[in-house]
Amino acid sequence: MIEVRNLSKHFSHEGRRIAALDDVSLQVAAGEIYGIIGRSGAGKSTLIRCLNLLERPDSGTVTLGEQELTALPEAELQLRRQRIGMVFQHFNLLRSRTVGGNVRFPLELAGTLSPAQMDARVDELLQLVGLADHKDKRPSQLSGGQKQRVGIARALANHPDLLLCDEATSALDPETTDSILALLADINRQLNLTIVLITHDMRVIRQLCDHVSVMDHGKVVEKGSVLDVFLQPQHAVTRSLLAETGFGQGERVEAWRARIGVPLLKLTFVGEPTLSPVLDKVGRETGLRVNLLSGTLSEIRDTPCGQLLVGVVASDVELPALPEIFAREGVRCEVLA
Amino acid sequence: MSGFDPSLLLTVDWPEIGTATLDTLTMLGVSLLFTIVFGLPLGVLLYISAPGQLRARPRLYAVLSFLVNVLRSLPFVILLIVLIPLTLLLVGTSIGVAGAIVPLVVGAIPFFGRLVENVLREIDRGVIEASQSMGAKLPQIVFKVLLPEAMPGLIGAATVTAVALVGYTAMSGVIGGGGLGDLAIRYGYQRFQTEVMIVTVALLLVLVQALQTAGDALVRRCRFG
């Protein structure tokens, strides 16, 4: 669906050249939700702006379906952009228009519908985002979450095949964030709409995304399925971003080992085993007794999963045999002796 | 002001005051209209051609900006005289109310244009970026985003310009332009008829007050939400 190849972009700042994007490549499949995460200044904002060419890369290509956007003349690009929705952190609604007027705006720009058809489409979109009763209000009369719903309705107006979300929930409180994420997941499912989002919040990735790229200093340092990245993070930046979620805490192992002085096991559960009493079963079969040190049980998108760090207090079998035994129960076990 | 006798007000030539008021209103109305007609596009052009803006044309912007500065730095009295040939060409006379309108407009366009540029710069870049992301063409951005979003500021700019024009009209007496300001200078200052000065200044004050109040009311009506 989207193919980004070797994108680079530099900015000059106080005489120095700074690489906002450094040879970034990624692919997004049709119908998936793709997350790009990084700290501020990592280049993710520049990257998402390069996907609809609000920002022109210095080099590299962006291909959408069969169409290479980076090769399109301005007029054709404008036409194509009508079907690439974008949602913004600060909503960017027109203050001079009502809620309905804001949703109608992209329809007016496209100019393909009659006024009556536009009105009907506006009603339909407001229904979809749950704001049918607020059509005649001004954006200033809405809460942040409601404003973002208007932003989403507006982005969907011309039946886009791609939706870009630029920190769409970063200005919202946690509860409102959840409702907006649920709405985006809903839209993705209902309309089979491909979504690319950037965020600095791993929670957003965990709840919403299928695949993720982790960015740091203009580079993609890690990418993969969200499950893999959460459960087996490879890069230090990824691990530090995961810190608040409880996943991927490799660096704490040393501290625990020093404190309790027994061999450690890292157990990773994905799907069904998360919900069954695996530890209890293995314990009875092998005499394994463990001390629970840290861990998390959670859901990634809709898959239950978890990761536990345990200290081995006693065991009837040799430690190297344990991974095999846990594997039979569908649990990944790493011995950190 | 010592020894001013209020009964002198009875001796004021009221019909002449009436004519002068009408002249001022005519000069103001016509020149404000033309100032907006030419100054609004100038302001938009300044805004979009500035470096880093929607259609950055740094050389065009530098030339326009320089011309605006030149016209704004000329004292209006000088402009009145310098523009006499142009005024003759455009309206056939360089004196009276008609003769005053050309220099008033020429003097006010760069003033208003610069105000418009500044008002447009206050618009949130994010809103412009959002409309670009939806595929808006430049004219659509100007007419559907910039001007509507800036409307309260633009009305404010027009109000300030109108008040400035009232001040300019006072100087039009130099070319026989007439109006209240001219009356105040000729009778009140040159002939020491303080009562005429008081009446004209009072009328000018009322006019400026009325303009400002009307402008503020309009801004309030179109402010969003």
Q: What is the pLDDT of residue B170?
A: 80
Q: Which tens digits make up the pLDDT trace of A63-91?
A: 999 999 999 999 999 999 999 999 999 99
Please give the C-alpha separations between residue A148 and each of A159, A170, B65, B89, B94, in angstroms, as whole numbers: 18, 11, 39, 57, 59
How many Å apart are CA A170 and CA A192, to the nearest integer?
24
10 Å Cβ neighbour count for B193?
A: 19
pLDDT > 70 in chain B, percent: 98
Q: Which residue of A has its CA nearest to B130?
A: A92
pLDDT > 90 in chain B, percent: 61
**Maximum CA extent, chain A:** 77
Residue A265: strand pairing partners: A310, A335
The answer to whether residue A96 scores a pLDDT higher than 80 is yes
How many Å apart are CA B40 and CA B38, to the nearest integer?
6
The answer to whether residue B2 scores a pLDDT higher than 80 is no
Contacts of residue B178, defined as CB under 8 A and 6 or more positions apart, other chains included, come to: B19, B20, B23, B96, B97, B100, B172
Please give the C-alpha separations between residue B208 and each of B176, B211, B213, in angstroms, as whole numbers: 22, 5, 9
Q: Which residue of A has its CA nearest to B221?
A: A96
Kind of pairing between the strands at A211-216 and A33-38: parallel
Give the residue, A263 or B60, on which the prediction is more confident: B60
Joined tokens for residue A153 = 């309705």
Say whether A95 and B137 touch across the interface (CB within 8 A).
Answer: no
How many Å apart are CA B75 and CA B204, to the nearest integer?
21
Say whether A95 and B145 touch across the interface (CB within 8 A).
Answer: no
Comparing A194-208, B95-109, B162-176, which segment has the lowest mean pLDDT? B162-176
Q: Establish how many alpha carbons lie within 13 A of residue B141's alpha carbon, considering only the half-sphere containing its beta carbon.
A: 25
Q: What is the pLDDT of residue A222?
A: 95
Q: Which residue of B has its CA nearest to A101?
A: B144
Comparing A14-18, A39-43, A101-105, B18-22, which segment has the lowest mean pLDDT? A14-18
The answer to whether residue A247 scores a pLDDT higher than 70 is yes
10 Å Cβ neighbour count for B103?
A: 28
Say whether B134 and A105 touch across the interface (CB within 8 A).
Answer: yes
Q: What is the pLDDT of residue A148?
A: 96
Say whether A94 and B145 touch across the interface (CB within 8 A).
Answer: yes
Q: Output Rg (C-alpha) for chain A, integer angstroms.
A: 24
Q: What is the pLDDT of residue A249?
A: 65
Closest CA to A322 of A292, A293, A285: A285
What ipTM score was computed for the predicted complex, to two decimals? 0.85
Out of B130, B134, B151, whose CB is closest to A96?
Answer: B151
Mind giving me the DSSP string for A183-228? HHHHHHHHH--EEEEEES-HHHHHHH-SEEEEEETTEEEEEEEHHH
Q: Which tens digits make up the pLDDT trace of A253-307?
A: 777 777 777 888 889 999 888 888 888 899 888 889 988 888 888 888 888 998 8
Say whether B135 and A110 touch across the interface (CB within 8 A).
Answer: yes
Residues in chain B whose Cβ is within 8 Å of chain A: 124, 126-127, 129-137, 140, 144-145, 148-149, 151, 224-225
Out of A96, A106, A140, whose CB is closest to B134?
Answer: A106
Mean pLDDT across chain A, nearest whole number? 91
Q: How far is A87 from chain B (nearest CA, A)?
A: 8
CATH for B6-221 (3.40.190.10, 3.40.50.970, 1.10.3720.10, 3.40.50.10800): 1.10.3720.10
For B125, which DSSP code? H
> By the CB < 8 Å criterion, does A108 face chain B?
yes
How many Å apart are CA B189 and CA B170, to the nearest integer?
13
> By the CB < 8 Å criterion, does A143 face chain B?
no
> By the CB < 8 Å criterion, does A173 face chain B?
no
Q: Band the pLDDT of B169: cuts 50, 70, 90.
A: confident
